[in-house]
Amino acid sequence: MDWASCMWLAPEGRMRRLIIMKSYREELWFETKTRRAYINITPQIEVLIHKSGVREGLVLVNAMHITASVYINDDEPGLLRDYDDFLERLAPHEARYRHNDTGEDNGDAHLKRQVMGREVVVAITDGRLDFGPWEQIFYGEFDGCRRKRVLVKIIGE
Number of domains in the chain: 1
0.85 exceeded by pTM: yes
- Measured between alpha carbons, how far is 124 from 131 in angstroms, rounded to an integer? 9
Residue 136 in this model has a pLDDT that exceeds 90: yes
- Measured between alpha carbons, how far is 59 from 154 in angstroms, rounded to an integer? 4
CATH number for the domain spanning 151: value is 2.60.120.460
Structural domain boundaries enclosing 141: 23-156
- Measured between alpha carbons, how far is 151 from 38 in angstroms, rounded to an integer? 17
Q: What is the DSSP letter of 35?
A: S
Answer whether residue 149 is part of any domain. Answer: yes
pLDDT tens per residue across span 101-125: 999 999 999 999 999 999 999 999 9
